[in-house]
């Protein structure tokens, strides 16, 4: 049986890479995002279906759910859409940025889960399992200075998933979370810093091998292709150069002389 996934935030970055990886693994995929031109190009390249929607608008989420049901239902939901704005202190942070981050990282995820969970239940056959996998961040597990609004939103998203896992206990539904650290994508830091490309690029400057979207997508596919009785509730994925959100090594990795035997 060909499994079917809905992937949000599919127009770029991790979402786009996840659509590509799932299609390569033989999945039927519906990519969801706001930018039609990017989705059309992705569909042409991969054979995926697509649906244009702003997930902060309930009527558009409802329309997505209707489209998914009409075209074959869904076995796996990949909640990837989200984002960060600013790196200011709590005192100086923009309240509108905070509200936006909560809306896209928490409320929109809740909207999509609520809309598609009935179809996920209907997709389950004997011995099978449905998946809800959400891309959060290590920012949802470890706080750091300047991360106040993003930390708050991603901590909330992680808590929501823990509650959902309890609420569907006893059902053949896996609630999975993948929490990436530093991932070099074309838009994440650029959007965070309001289009300031120099500041965005400085985040990754001299960091040896930050993750790229394909790294995260590959792990997402592995998580949802585990045997039905195996649930990888939380996977944290970081580059080796990153120990924590606030501790990143810059420059070549090497064994410290004092730790070298011989």
Residues with a catalytic annotation lie at 150
φ/ψ (deg, to 5) at 11 = -85, -10
Calpha distance 26→76 (Å, rounded): 14
- Cα 71–222–121 angle (5° rounding)? 40
Contact between residue 81 and residue 108 where contact means Cβ atoms under 8 Å apart:
yes
CA-based torsion, 68, 55, 84, 236: positive or negative: negative
Burial of 169 (0-12, 13-18, 19+ CB in 10 A): exposed
Closest to 22 in 3D by CA, of 12, 11, 7, 43: 7
Using left for φ > 0, alpha for ψ between -120 and 50, and beta otherwise, residue 143 falls in beta
């Amino acid at each position: 049986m060909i499994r079917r996934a809905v992937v949000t935030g599919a127009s770029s970055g991790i979402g786009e890479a996840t659509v590509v990886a799932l299609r390569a693994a033989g999945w039927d995929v519906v990519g969801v995002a706001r930018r039609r031109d990017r989705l059309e190009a992705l569909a042409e390249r991969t054979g995926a279906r697509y649906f244009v929607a702003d997930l902060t608008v309930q009527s558009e989420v409802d329309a997505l759910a209707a489209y998914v049901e009409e075209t074959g239902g869904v076995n796996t939901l990949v909640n990837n859409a989200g984002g960060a704005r600013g790196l200011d202190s709590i005192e100086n942070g923009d309240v509108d940025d905070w509200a936006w981050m909560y809306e896209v990282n928490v409320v929109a995820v809740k909207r999509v889960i609520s809309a598609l969970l009935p179809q996920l239940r209907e997709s389950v056959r004997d011995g099978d399992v449905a998946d809800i996998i959400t891309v959060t961040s290590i920012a949802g597990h470890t706080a750091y200075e300047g991360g106040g609004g993003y930390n708050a939103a991603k901590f909330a998203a992680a808590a929501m998933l823990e509650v959902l896992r309890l609420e569907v206990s006893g059902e053949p539904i896996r609630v999975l979370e993948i929490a990436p650290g530093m991932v070099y994508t074309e838009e994440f830091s650029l959007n965070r810093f309001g289009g300031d490309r120099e500041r965005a690029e400085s985040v990754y400057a001299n960091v040896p091998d930050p993750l790229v979207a394909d790294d995260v997508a590959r792990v997402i596919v592995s998580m949802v292709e585990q045997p039905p009785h195996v649930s990888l509730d939380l996977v944290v994925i970081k580059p080796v150069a990153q120990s924590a959100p606030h501790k990143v090594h810059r420059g070549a990795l090497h064994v410290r002389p004092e730790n070298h035997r011989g």
